[in-house]
Amino acid sequence: MQLILASIEPYFLELLSVVITAMLGVAIAFAKDRFGLEIEARHREALHSALMTGARLALSRMGAHGSNSAMIDAALSYAHMSVPDSIKRLRPSENLLAELAESKLSLAEAEKHMSPQVEAR
């Protein structure tokens, strides 16, 4: 029995090392995917937040007198200054950014109309 175990021991150890290496590879890939998605989600959230803040700022500064394209440009400018790393990481096209800014501007306008007006004293 000892002779049989001694003869298969090198093969068993080699097989065991292959299995452990494969398990480590799967675990590393899983961790990379999970943490990569979390990082991407944080960048995406930061970008959306910056575009919303930029839209609100443009709306408050320009109000009804500003053109839609000027307010979108202002929101985009704010986002580029506020979260350049997120834009660099996500690599959205300028067209997509403009569409997102336009959407955020519409939301900001809706918020403004829905919120109660505070009278100046």
Q: Which contacts (CB < 8 Å, 24+ apart) does range 103-107 have?
A: 104/48, 104/51, 104/52, 104/54, 104/55, 104/75, 105/55, 105/58, 105/59, 105/68, 105/71, 105/72, 105/75, 107/52, 107/55
For residue 116, the model assigns a pLDDT of 67
Q: Which residue has the higher pLDDT, 120 or 106?
A: 106
Model-level pTM?
Answer: 0.68
Per-residue pLDDT, averaged over 28-56, amounts to 88
